[in-house]
Structure 1
Amino acid sequence: MSIAAVVGSPHGRSNAPEQPGAQLHGPKTLRLLQLRVVVPPSPLNGRMDLTRVATEMLAAIPATTLFGIDVIAAGDGTAELTVAPSPAALDALGCLHTSGLVALVDSTSMAAIISAAPDEDHPYGLVPAVLDLQMTLVRPARGRLTARCVLGEAATRAAVAFYDRERRTTTIATRTQITDGEGLVVGDGRATWALHRTESPLDTSDHVGRSSGSGARRVRAPGRLRGAAR
Structure 2
Amino acid sequence: MTVGFFITCLVDAMRPSIGFAALRLLEAAGCQVEVPMAQTCCGQPAYNSGDRATARDLAEKMLDEFERFDHVVLPSGSCGGMIVAHYGELFASDPELSRRHAALQPRIHELSGFLVDVLGWTELPPALREDPTLQRFQGVATYHDSCSGLRELGIKQQPRRLIASLPGVELREMASCEQCCGFGGTFSIKYGEISTAIVDEKCGHIAASGAQAVVLGDLGCMLNIEGRLRRRGDTQTRVLHWAELLAGDASSPDRG
Using structure 1 for the length normalisation, give the TM-score.
Answer: 0.22
Relative CO higher for 1 or 2, CA cutoff 8 Å, sep ≥ 6?
Answer: 2
Q: Which has the larger radius of gyration?
A: 1
Q: Which has the higher helix share?
A: 2
Using structure 2 for the length normalisation, give the TM-score.
Answer: 0.20
